[in-house]
């Protein structure tokens, strides 16, 4: 059985002792070092060469996320497993972005922690299903916010159109050709073309297809029968 070498980083000595006892009871796990803060971890971890580093986020002097960035340079082959009390999507997202191989809550430590260590040691990523949903919801919220912002910008550009430009915009979206629009609005074809070019420029559009999509996104044609 291959031994999993583990390094513990937490500022609470009682917790470190409890984790060490828990892990040393496993036949395939051995704690090769520990530290109470980020700088001490960075000093010790290179000589310890652990397979898995258990890293708290709330650390004195240097927080765990900053330590995580530096650990990749110090011990690139070590897998970092965040062990924290923060059940928070922002912390989870940041930890994964910085290269953490997993995220476990302290209150869930025990069988779940042992399973997480074995998972990341074998090359996997460990997330509790609840955290997967949390991360997914956070991503969806961000996408919705971005879409809402984009739609607001499009609405603002549309509102910048003159009354005549807005009329021509709707008629073009409905499929009317330039000469038909000219007849409807009692304008010359050349004048319609000028208005059309101007509104396309204001809205940042390059084709009628883009114009129709723009109109549909804003719901401009919803009340058109």
The b/e string for 81-90 (b: 16+ C-beta within 10 A; e otherwise) is: bbbbebeebe
- Listed by start position, the domains of the chain span 4-134, 160-218
CA distance 37 to 103: 19
Q: Can you give the pTM of this predicted structure?
A: 0.59
In this prediction, residue 225 carries a pLDDT of: 45
CATH of domain 4-134: 3.40.50.2300
Are 45 and 53 a contacting pair, CB within 8 Å? yes
Is-contact 45 75, C-beta < 8 A? Answer: yes
Whether 4-134 shares its CATH topology with 160-218 is answered: no
CA 26/CA 77 separation, integer angstroms:
22
For residue 60, the model assigns a pLDDT of 85
- Token couple for 12: 């609470």
At the second CATH level, the architecture of 160-218 is: Orthogonal Bundle (1.10)
* Cα distances (angstroms) measured from residue 157 to each of 12, 82, 101, 148, 160: 56, 45, 44, 14, 5
Show Cβ contacts of residue 108 under 8 Å, excluding neighbours closer than 6 positions: 128
The model's pLDDT over 163-218, given as tens digits with 9 standing for 90+, comes to 999 899 989 888 889 999 999 899 999 999 999 999 999 988 888 888 888 888 88
Those residues of the chain that have pLDDT short of 70 are 1, 128-151, 222-225
């Amino acid at each position: 059985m291959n031994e999993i070498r583990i390094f513990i980083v937490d500022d609470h000595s009682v917790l470190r002792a409890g984790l060490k006892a828990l892990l040393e009871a496993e036949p395939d796990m051995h704690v090769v070092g520990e530290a109470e803060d980020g700088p001490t971890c960075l000093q010790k971890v290179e000589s310890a060469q652990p397979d898995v580093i258990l890293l708290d986020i709330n650390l004195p002097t240097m927080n765990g996320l900053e330590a995580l960035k530096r650990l990749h340079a110090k011990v690139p082959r070590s897998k970092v497993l965040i062990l924290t009390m923060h059940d928070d999507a922002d912390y989870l997202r940041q930890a994964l972005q910085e290269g953490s191989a997993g995220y476990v809550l302290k209150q869930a430590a025990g069988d779940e922690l042992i399973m997480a260590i074995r998972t990341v040691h074998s090359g996997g990523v460990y997330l509790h299903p609840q955290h997967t949903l949390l991360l997914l919801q956070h991503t969806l919220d961000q996408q919705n916010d971005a879409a809402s912002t984009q739609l607001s910008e499009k609405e603002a550009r549309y509102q910048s159109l003159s009354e005549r430009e807005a009329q021509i915009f709707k008629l073009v979206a409905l499929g009317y050709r330039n000469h038909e629009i000219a007849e409807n609005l009692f304008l010359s074809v050349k004048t319609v073309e000028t208005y059309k070019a101007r509104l396309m420029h204001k809205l940042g559009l390059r084709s009628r297809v883009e114009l129709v999509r723009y109109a549909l996104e804003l719901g401009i044609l919803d009340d058109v029968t």
